[in-house]
Amino acid sequence: MQWYEDEVQAIERRRRAGRFPINAPVFYGSSSIRLWDTLGEDVDPAVVNLGFGGSTLEACDYFFHRLIAPLKPSTLVVYAGDNDLGDGRAPDHVAASFRSLAAKVAQLDPAPRFGFISIKPSPARWGILDRIRAVNDSVLGDMAACRDCFYIDVFPAMLGANGGPRPELFEPDGLHMNRAGYRLWSRLIRPYRNRIVA
């Protein structure tokens, strides 16, 4: 986890400087969150963006007590898992990282509302689409058993008529989303806004 340490420490310094409010809704996860520059405009100005670049679901779990617990979020929305699979992790390994993270969320007092954005289908990771589906299905099953949890499924809307990822939603690298991709996410998240910002 040493690779993330500089960015994690930078986030911690911002927190200690009072840059992040306590008890706010927090979006947490990989670069799909970190690069969402219009998150406040697209979802709500109260939302805190705690994405850190290249992070895995395993890293989100590992750094939870340093980055999330001190903020006592009212709601936590996570996007991660994409990079774990891209790094060659098996779906069972990624699902286990999710369960470990979910257990930490449940142990917060008070426990926040907990949302998960499904792992997106991207052109760069077309070859592991079945593994992405497997993790999404596993997470959906876990979330269904949780009273204050919600699963935001972005996967189907990001597929084209041919069943493959829609390239117009992505930057030229085929992995990170462009503004059109974030506009789509904001539309798909809108029905959950009252659960995110209570």
Phi, psi of 27 (to 5 degrees): -100, 130
- Give me the domain span that covers residue 33: 2-196
Whether residue 179 is predicted with pLDDT greater than 90 in this model: the reply is: yes
pTM score, whole prediction: 0.96
- Looking up residue 53, the CATH number of its domain turns out to be 3.40.50.1110
Whether residue 41 is predicted with pLDDT greater than 80 in this model: the reply is: yes
Residue 98 makes CB contacts below 8 A (sequence gap 6+) with 57, 61, 81, 116, 135, 138, 139, 142
Domain count, the chain: 1
pLDDT in tens, 52-73: 988 999 999 999 999 999 999 9
Q: How far apart are CA 3 and CA 120, in angstroms?
A: 24
Whether residue 105 is predicted with pLDDT greater than 90 in this model: the reply is: yes
Q: How far apart are CA 25 and CA 27, in angstroms?
A: 7
72: number of Cβ within 10 Å: 14
Q: pLDDT-derived band of residue 3, with 50, 70 and 90 as boundaries?
A: confident
pLDDT in tens, 108-139: 999 999 999 999 999 999 999 999 999 999 99
Average pLDDT on 165-184 reads 97
Whether residue 84 is predicted with pLDDT greater than 90 in this model: the reply is: yes
Whether residue 142 is predicted with pLDDT greater than 90 in this model: the reply is: yes
